[in-house]
Chain A
Amino acid sequence: MNPWAEDFPILKETINGKRLVYLDNAATTQKPVPVLKAVDDYYRKANANPHRGLYALSVEATQKYEDARRTVKKFIGARKDEEVLFTRNASESLNLVAYSYGLTFLKEGDEIALPVSEHHSNLVPWQMVAQAKGAKLVYLYPDAQGRLTDAEIGAKITAKTKIVALAHVSNVLGSIYPVKKIVEKAHSVGAVVVLDCAQSIPHYPVNVTELGCDFMAFSGHKMLAPMGIGVLYGKEELLNRMPPFLRGGEMIEYVHEQSATFAPLPQKFEAGTQNVGGAIGLDAAIHYLRNVGYDRIQKTENELLNYTLDGLAEIPHVTVYGGTDNRANRCGVISFNVEGVHPHDVATVLDAAGVAIRAGHHCAQPLMEYLCVNSTCRASLYFYNTKDDIDVFLAALRKVRGWLGLGA
């Protein structure tokens, strides 16, 4: 019995008559009871439109929403509440920066530097900026072990670079990129750094002040919170210089027929009725994560990662992508392929054994092109996974080639 199953009721579910083995945590994580309960309590007892009413219930909703902002601020080490904006997800956060900062401050000939491994959410918005402003995208290419070398960083981040956009952890290779070094380099040439922590913050503490990044984005749903709530951190001085992204209710100061002035931070970037239930769920998720503790999360995941990589190495015809030498420098996102078998068939065979993995291009098609693969399978871990889960996964994987009529 999984020791976490009481907190994560979905882990007791069966799939195709088999116990669910959930190894698609990089796509979204499962939700613990305290998070479900916090959201439920809010809608049962405190639901009102925040900021819009002068009655007690609305005040309470506003307070809970702002409490959540304060929890996030402490969680990510921001200096001020105003630097924490709520969005729908990491994608919206990154689009906000691209539309509001990118389109305002980039000029023809400027460069945007980014690793080729970026998720489409931190790549396609920059293509839009580059096309609109005549700027250029410059890619950093990881080495065979999934690392960004000093030489690559030095060669690609130059006096022309105005924005460096990168993920803290790659959602395909699992590589942990040297963010601090990259931030220092970027700042030395006068570029701002947009950090995508969607895959890191569920597993590693992120402190924006220590890292020195200018913007940082993540999604609640990849770290135990509900879907539909995300965060953008931005330095106050930058956010103040940026125009609003979405316009409408709540984000204004005065509106006249022909013009409007805007509310101060953070409301300036939070148009319309916000996802208060989601923010409260995120608040509860952060408390839950704190109780589990990042130390314990990392210890469990490192053990499981080693166990999985060792197991995969013993299965013939399996290729693992990304770093396998330095396991300390990668996290529990494991992309692999089975020789002669398309990833979607691998996923179907595993599904029949109750094992949920992702197969496809993982919203990282430029990386797939760079790796010269059409698509990959991806198993991704979280602290509630067990060795038993990995055993079921490995056993099912051994049978894949047999099902496809190929030799073991």
Chain B
Amino acid sequence: MELNQIYTQILTEHNNSKRNKHHIENPTATLKGVNPSCGDEIELELREKNGVIEDAGFTGVGCAISQASASIMIDLIKGKSTDEALKLAQTFFGMVKNEITDEKRLEVLDEAIALKDISHMPARVKCAVLGWHTLENAIKGEKDPE
């Protein structure tokens, strides 16, 4: 494992940027996601209209991988239908588990491809998938425990 495969420019820029890290107006779904081993936490907010994700944002604290991955995800899912977003999540899980390696199939992940090498760091896969798992659960209607 080389650090420059993990801490790429895309990852550090997203980690240090606040572009997607904020509350959104009139969210239709909000959900917390935690990764107890790392202490990573995010809260995802979505505004969905007629099956399309109009806007999304997140807040939280955690390692660069968890925060950057969530930010990259938000760029990808905005304007997509919830079904498309769920499909992207499956492709992302396949990539970081090294189950999908075909570059053509990964193309849809765009900047998220920067996280491909996480598959070599089993301890950090959880960080990379935190945002995507939270997205999946939010679309499926899961609510934060009271």
Which residues of A does B touch, CB under 8 Å?
Answer: 16, 340-345, 348-349, 352, 360-361, 374-375, 403-406
| Cross-chain contact A403 with B63 (CB below 8 angstroms) | no
| Cross-chain contact A344 with B7 (CB below 8 angstroms) | no
| Cross-chain contact B63 with A405 (CB below 8 angstroms) | no
Alpha-carbon distance A360/B65, docked complex (angstroms): 15
- Count of chain B residues near A, Cβ 8 A: 22
Known: A352-B2, A403-B3, A404-B7. A344 touches B12 (CB 8 A): no
| Cross-chain contact A406 with B16 (CB below 8 angstroms) | yes
| Cross-chain contact B9 with A405 (CB below 8 angstroms) | yes
User: Which chain A residues border B64 with CB–CB below 8 Å?
Assistant: 341-342, 345, 404
User: Which chain B residues border A352 with CB–CB below 8 Å?
Assistant: 1-3
| Cross-chain contact B7 with A342 (CB below 8 angstroms) | no
| Cross-chain contact A360 with B39 (CB below 8 angstroms) | yes
In this complex, what residue of A is CB-closest to B16?
Answer: A405
| Cross-chain contact A345 with B63 (CB below 8 angstroms) | yes
| Cross-chain contact B7 with A403 (CB below 8 angstroms) | yes
A59 vs chain B, min Cβ distance (A)? 46
In this complex, what residue of A is CB-closest to B2?
Answer: A352
Which residues of B does A touch, CB under 8 Å?
Answer: 1-3, 6-7, 9, 12-13, 15-16, 37-40, 61-65, 121, 124, 127
B1 vs chain A, min Cβ distance (A)? 7
In this complex, what residue of B is CB-closest to A349?
Answer: B3
Contacts between chains A and B (CB distance < 8 A), count: 53
| Cross-chain contact B3 with A344 (CB below 8 angstroms) | no
| Cross-chain contact A344 with B63 (CB below 8 angstroms) | yes
| Cross-chain contact B62 with A16 (CB below 8 angstroms) | no
Alpha-carbon distance A406/B9, docked complex (angstroms): 11
Alpha-carbon distance A348/B6, docked complex (angstroms): 10
B77 vs chain A, min Cβ distance (A)? 24
Chain B CB within 10 Å, residue with most, of A16, A340, A345, A352: A345
In this complex, what residue of A is CB-closest to B11?
Answer: A405
| Cross-chain contact A344 with B127 (CB below 8 angstroms) | yes
Alpha-carbon distance A65/B132, docked complex (angstroms): 53
| Cross-chain contact A348 with B124 (CB below 8 angstroms) | yes
In this complex, what residue of B is CB-closest to A16?
Answer: B1
A-B contact pairs, 15 of them (CB 8 A): A342-B63, A343-B63, A344-B40, A344-B63, A344-B124, A345-B7, A348-B124, A352-B2, A360-B39, A374-B61, A404-B16, A405-B7, A405-B9, A405-B12, A405-B16
User: Which chain B residues border A345 with CB–CB below 8 Å?
Assistant: 7, 63-65
Alpha-carbon distance A165/B2, docked complex (angstroms): 45
A324 vs chain B, min Cβ distance (A)? 25
**Which of these, B13, B38, B62, contacts A405 with CB under 8 Å?**
B13
Alpha-carbon distance A138/B75, docked complex (angstroms): 48
Alpha-carbon distance A403/B127, docked complex (angstroms): 18
| Cross-chain contact B7 with A361 (CB below 8 angstroms) | no
User: Which chain A residues border B127 with CB–CB below 8 Å?
Assistant: 344
User: Which chain B residues border A361 with CB–CB below 8 Å?
Assistant: 39
**Which of these, B12, B37, B62, contacts A342 with CB under 8 Å?**
B62
User: Which chain B residues border A343 with CB–CB below 8 Å?
Assistant: 63
User: Which chain B residues border A405 with CB–CB below 8 Å?
Assistant: 7, 9, 12-13, 15-16
User: Which chain A residues border B40 with CB–CB below 8 Å?
Assistant: 342, 344
Alpha-carbon distance A343/B65, docked complex (angstroms): 12
In this complex, what residue of B is CB-closest to A352?
Answer: B3
Alpha-carbon distance A342/B62, docked complex (angstroms): 6
B110 vs chain A, min Cβ distance (A)? 20
User: Which chain A residues border B15 with CB–CB below 8 Å?
Assistant: 404-405
Alpha-carbon distance A348/B3, docked complex (angstroms): 8
In this complex, what residue of A is CB-closest to B13?
Answer: A405
B115 vs chain A, min Cβ distance (A)? 14
User: Which chain B residues border A342 with CB–CB below 8 Å?
Assistant: 38, 40, 61-64
Alpha-carbon distance A349/B15, docked complex (angstroms): 16
In this complex, what residue of B is CB-closest to A368?
Answer: B39
User: Which chain A residues border B12 with CB–CB below 8 Å?
Assistant: 403-406
User: Which chain A residues border B2 with CB–CB below 8 Å?
Assistant: 352
User: Which chain A residues border B61 with CB–CB below 8 Å?
Assistant: 342, 374
Alpha-carbon distance A16/B121, docked complex (angstroms): 12
**Which of these, A16, A374, A403, contacts B39 with CB under 8 Å?**
A374
B40 vs chain A, min Cβ distance (A)? 8
Alpha-carbon distance A349/B65, docked complex (angstroms): 13
A16 vs chain B, min Cβ distance (A)? 7
Alpha-carbon distance A352/B38, docked complex (angstroms): 18
List of 4 A-B pairs having minimum Cβ-Cβ separation, nearest first: A405-B12, A342-B63, A344-B63, A403-B7
A396 vs chain B, min Cβ distance (A)? 10
| Cross-chain contact B1 with A360 (CB below 8 angstroms) | no
User: Which chain A residues border B124 with CB–CB below 8 Å?
Assistant: 344, 348
